[in-house]
Amino acid sequence: MARVTQFFQVRGDAKPHPTEVECGYRTVDTPLGPLLQLSTYGSDERQSEKKVSQTLQLDREGARRLLAIIRDTFPDL
């Protein structure tokens, strides 16, 4: 689990991942304000039962930056 503190653009080649996973989200209340928590779960092909693989937390500023990145990537939304 990690709280995202910064986003930066990465240059270079990338390919779509062949594996698909589900992502759960929740709000985590803290004294400094809410956090958005996103957790990915292992793929359906995983041998064991479904469990969290990776968790990211975003504060208000991180969410604002991610929203700007999403709007830049998908301007028709």
Three-class DSSP category at 23: strand
**Dihedral pair phi/psi, residue 64, rounded to 5°:** -60, -45
One DSSP character per residue, 34-59 reads: -EEEEEEE--TT-SS---EEEEEEE-
**pLDDT tens profile 38-70:** 999 976 666 567 788 899 999 999 999 999 999
- pTM for the full predicted model: 0.83
Q: Please report, rounded to a whole number, the percentage of residues in the chain having pLDDT higher than 70.
A: 91
Residue 58 near residue 68, CB atoms below 8 Å: no
